[in-house]
Amino acid sequence: MVHVRVMIIFDKQDMSIKKGGLFRPPYFPLSGQISVDSLEHILSNATYGADPIVGKILEGYTRLDPSVGITNCRVILVSAYGTQVLLHPSSPFVLIWLFLPLSIIRGLPVKYNADRKPGGVNLLLVTGGAGYIGSHVVLGLLDQGREVLVIDNLSRGHRELAGKAVFEEADIRDLSQTGKIFRKYPIDGVLHFAALSLVEDSMSDPHSYFRNNIGGTMNIITSMLESDIDRIVFSSSAAVYGEPRALPVKEEAPKIPTNPYGETKLFIESMLRRSFEAYGTRSVSLRYFNAAGADPLCRTGEDHSPETHLIPIALDVVMGRKEELKIFGNDYPTHDGTCVRDYVHVADLADAHIRALEGMEKGTLACEAFNLGNGKGFSVLEIVSAVRSVTGIGFPLRFAPRRAGDPAVLVASSDRAERELSWKRRYKDMDEIIETAWKWHQKRFRPRRRY
């Protein structure tokens, strides 16, 4: 008996399987057609571990690529993610393969790459992909027809937000867990969102931030180096700048973070720069200001616990999930006395991540950092008024004293991202941003009072 290793590539753009229909895998060396019934028969005879492969095949997201080579004895189906499905030796599929000239199979190109050549299957690892921003990037990648693997420990995220991506619950603080994931899946690149990101929390418990953000990223970089993966997009933050001296904030502005959270982001940027210099690991650090809004199709959105961001808190008050909106400080040197911040739509952020990744894939980006913002500041009271106008509902406010370390105005210059990533924001208008957030908020959170 012969052993054939077959690779399954998931590709949403190539959905030629329908249950009961014909399967036309582009790389299949036989007649090019296998009935789905026979695939189902094979799978029903298979012994396999918990793996998305079966569901995906029957849903019809699959094409087949015989590629990896032949050893002896049994037919093994290998998913693009490295999971093996052992087929029953009496499966008719085995017989098909027995009649194949082995040289044809051996000679076929390997489409997913041990050596990660362009044109191979791009399996992208998104850490923290069950969180707010990560889940939007996952959607953006899936919408592009990319293959996505999410790892998240669900400490702050929600499994369902990772959608149709392959999901592994794993903690990046544990090197044995990250190493196992990198050995199991043919990962091509990493988009790294997993982090703790509450500024006040980081002041009271800095060690957990160092351990999670810095320690976790060290494990990701270690696993990347071990697996020879050389591209990563990193979620940095405006917090690396601290209190800026000049506005709008440019990338070359002094970086003097005022809290441990910002320090972790700055240190990670420096680790990535050193990794590039020493090992050639390419990286793009994206320093975002305030992410806002939700997927325009309402497939994912913001659901933090605790919630610390202004717009979702205001929407919570509108929906009766919170009693009032507390505004910290109304005596800042701004036009209405409240702080001014830069809000960038999360779908625009997702677009920038994909452009950053593509830049590294094409070789135009090596080790860079970009600010991502709206280019325009909005005061807290302007946001309140936009929330009232979009929802049509007034809600209670209370002014509280300033919080330590809150600068009066934080607005980004995103000129560099516009120039070098050709990044264009689709959402500049605050009402439009809030409309997407409001739609998601109503879908996600049941109102507790009539409004």
Ligand X SMILES: NC(=O)c1ccc[n+]([C@@H]2O[C@H](COP(=O)([O-])OP(=O)(O)OC[C@H]3O[C@@H](n4cnc5c(N)ncnc54)[C@H](O)[C@@H]3O)[C@@H](O)[C@H]2O)c1
Minimum CB distance to ligand X smaller for 63 or for 441: 441
Minimum CB distance to ligand X smaller for 79 or for 237: 237
Options 61, 132, 209, 261, the catalytic residue:
261
To ligand X, the closest distance from the beta carbon of 368 in angstroms equals 17
Minimum CB distance to ligand X smaller for 121 or for 199: 199
Minimum CB distance to ligand X smaller for 39 or for 352: 352
CA separation for the pair 312, 2 (Å, rounded):
59
Torsion angles phi and psi, residue 24, rounded to 5: -120, 80
CA separation for the pair 323, 391 (Å, rounded):
17
Cα distances (Å, whole numbers) of residue 79 to 25, 49, 84, 121: 15, 12, 6, 12
Torsion angles phi and psi, residue 217, rounded to 5: -70, -35
Q: Is 261 a catalytic residue?
A: yes
To ligand X, the closest distance from the beta carbon of 341 in angstroms equals 10
CA separation for the pair 415, 401 (Å, rounded):
34
Binding residues for ligand X, per CB under 6 A?
A: 128, 130-134, 152-157, 171-173, 193-197, 212, 216, 235, 237, 288, 290-291, 304
**Amino acid letter, residue 64:** L
To ligand X, the closest distance from the beta carbon of 397 in angstroms equals 22
Minimum CB distance to ligand X smaller for 85 or for 126: 126
To ligand X, the closest distance from the beta carbon of 291 in angstroms equals 4
Minimum CB distance to ligand X smaller for 87 or for 224: 224
To ligand X, the closest distance from the beta carbon of 237 in angstroms equals 4
Catalytic residues, by residue number, are 261
